[in-house]
């Protein structure tokens, strides 16, 4: 099952990358740009086939992909399209070589099919097509997850009763100890708590909040065998996480749970998946986006934390970034049943794996919007800047400016690529020596 989970995730990642590139490929072809290659992966080519003017293939390292379009960089406007080769500046040479390679792909009569000649809005569509494809995948999977399978929730139906007052439900070693309040009150597995001290409850969080604020004694109205009965329980004080009236755990300024001496009953809820209405999808997708964006915006600090974890300075943050190795490990643990009740059946585990693929696609969407080359966001930023320049020239009655020369940003692009490789290597190493585990 572990290997099956890893395989499902590998296939999910590969399909996500492939569809991301399709998001670039289709609009590029629709707008008449010549596409010479569509590749999934990097490195040596494992398989390829040419259809028309485009070579489709799979490469050995499945950590990305690309669509090769002719004329990505415009010629130098000041030189009338002629290239200057005499500069000794290595950055200038790098830029000129990239521009030369880009223009060498343009055969006679194909000048009108270059990427840089597209109108700004069409370039935006082509470059945003990949990230938007990932957003669409995430939205579709989330819709299926919420409406078909449902969201995991704790219900006030009792699944187990603690034997004694000072242990959790899982510990039944109670020799010489008082029985738990739930056991002493006669609460049984299968009972559904519908009210606490006369206040109706429909969720376990509402039940927990009512118990914490009930005082020394609480009256529980429960449904059992089709009828209702009231049970009196003498609660005991235990240190537990404090709840808010809206059913959320209280946290301090550092995000840590706030603990306090509160009433303890000694009953465990039942974990179930409850399907949600389709109206819940936009809010859920929005929360995924903001959560992912928060991680991306704090990525430099999080990478420092990962480095400190590798050095043994601090523990690994379970909410921190992972490499594909870490994602594969988590997928394997999910398939192997590491989540307990939350992944009790094979169907539940399958849906959890799909939720991981949805999260991965949201991460691809957000990460690719970073306005730096070689990411899609860098090309989008260049097209937007050109659009602003053209609008300003029109307002002032000036001739249209030359296309924005994104080739000048190549030194930054190479620096970003090196940084991404270093970050990937660090995360892979961390996922091997100090992995994030579900248990």
- Residues identified as active-site: 21
Q: Are 92 and 75 in contact (CB under 8 A)?
A: no
Burial (CB count <10 Å: 0-12, 13-18, 19+), residue 179 = middle
Q: Are 212 and 263 in contact (CB under 8 A)?
A: yes
CB neighbourhood size of 223 (10 A): 15
Q: What angle do CA 220, 215, 269 make, to 5 degrees?
A: 45
Nearest in space to 9 (alpha carbons), one of 307, 330, 227, 257: 330
Question: What does the block give as tokens for 223?
Answer: 């449904």
Distance CA 71, CA 267 (A): 67
77 backbone dihedrals φ, ψ, rounded to 5°: -70, -40
Write out the DSSP string of 174-191.
-TTSPBPHHHHHT--TT-
Nearest in space to 292 (alpha carbons), one of 374, 366, 192: 366
Which helix (H) or strand (E) covers residue 264, if one does? strand 259-264
Distance CA 240, CA 236 (A): 12
Distance CA 383, CA 406 (A): 9
Write out the DSSP string of 279-305.
GGHHHHHHHHHHHHHHHHHTHHHHHHH
Distance CA 113, CA 35 (A): 9
Q: Are 374 and 383 in contact (CB under 8 A)?
A: no
Cα distances from 128 to residues 16, 113, 131, 407, 429, in angstroms, run 15, 19, 6, 19, 32
């Amino acid at each position: 099952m572990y290997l099956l989970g890893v395989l499902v995730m590998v296939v999910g990642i590969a399909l996500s990358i492939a569809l991301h590139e399709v998001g670039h490929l289709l609009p590029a072809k629709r707008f008449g740009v010549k596409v010479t290659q569509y590749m999934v992966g990097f490195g040596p080519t494992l398989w390829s086939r040419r259809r028309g003017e485009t070579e489709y293939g799979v490469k050995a390292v499945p950590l990305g992909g690309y669509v090769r379009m002719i004329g990505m960089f415009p010629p130098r406007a000041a030189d009338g399209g002629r290239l200057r080769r005499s500069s000794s500046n290595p950055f200038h040479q790098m830029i000129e070589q990239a521009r030369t390679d880009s223009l060498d792909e343009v055969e006679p009569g194909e000048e009108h099919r270059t990427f840089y000649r597209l109108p700004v809005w069409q370039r935006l569509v082509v470059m945003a097509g990949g990230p938007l494809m990932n957003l669409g995948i995430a939205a579709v999977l989330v819709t299926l997850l919420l409406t078909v399978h449902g969201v995991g929730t704790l219900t006030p139906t009792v699944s187990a009763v603690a034997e004694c007052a000072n242990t959790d439900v899982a510990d039944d070693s109670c020799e010489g100890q008082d029985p738990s309040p739930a056991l002493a009150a006669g609460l049984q597995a299968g009972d559904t708590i519908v009210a606490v001290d006369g206040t109706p409850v429909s969720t376990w969080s509402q039940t927990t909040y009512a118990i914490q604020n009930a005082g020394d004694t609480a009256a529980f109205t429960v449904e059992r065998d089709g009828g209702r009965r009231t049970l009196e329980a003498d609660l005991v004080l235990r240190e537990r996480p404090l709840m808010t009236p809206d059913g959320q755990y209280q946290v301090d300024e550092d995000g840590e749970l706030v603990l306090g001496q509160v009433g303890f009953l000694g009953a465990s809820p039942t974990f179930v998946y409850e399907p949600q209405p389709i109206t819940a999808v936009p809010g859920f997708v929005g929360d995924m986006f903001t959560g992912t964006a928060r991680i991306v915006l704090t990525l430099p600090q999080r990478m420092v934390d990962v480095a400190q974890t590798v050095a043994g300075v601090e523990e690994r943050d379970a909410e921190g970034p992972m490499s594909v190795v870490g994602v594969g490990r988590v997928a394997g643990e999910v398939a192997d049943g590491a989540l307990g009740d939350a992944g009790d059946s094979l169907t539940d585990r399958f849906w959890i794996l799909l939720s991981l693929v949805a999260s991965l696609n949201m991460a691809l969407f957000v990460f690719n919007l970073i306005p730096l080359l070689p990411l899609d966001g860098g090309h989008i930023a260049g097209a937007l800047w050109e659009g602003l320049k053209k609008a300003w020239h029109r307002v002032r009655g000036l001739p249209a400016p030359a296309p924005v020369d994104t080739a000048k940003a190549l030194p930054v692009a190479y620096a970003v690529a090196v940084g991404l490789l270093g970050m990937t290597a660090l995360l892979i190493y961390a996922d091997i020596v100090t992995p994030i585990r579900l248990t």
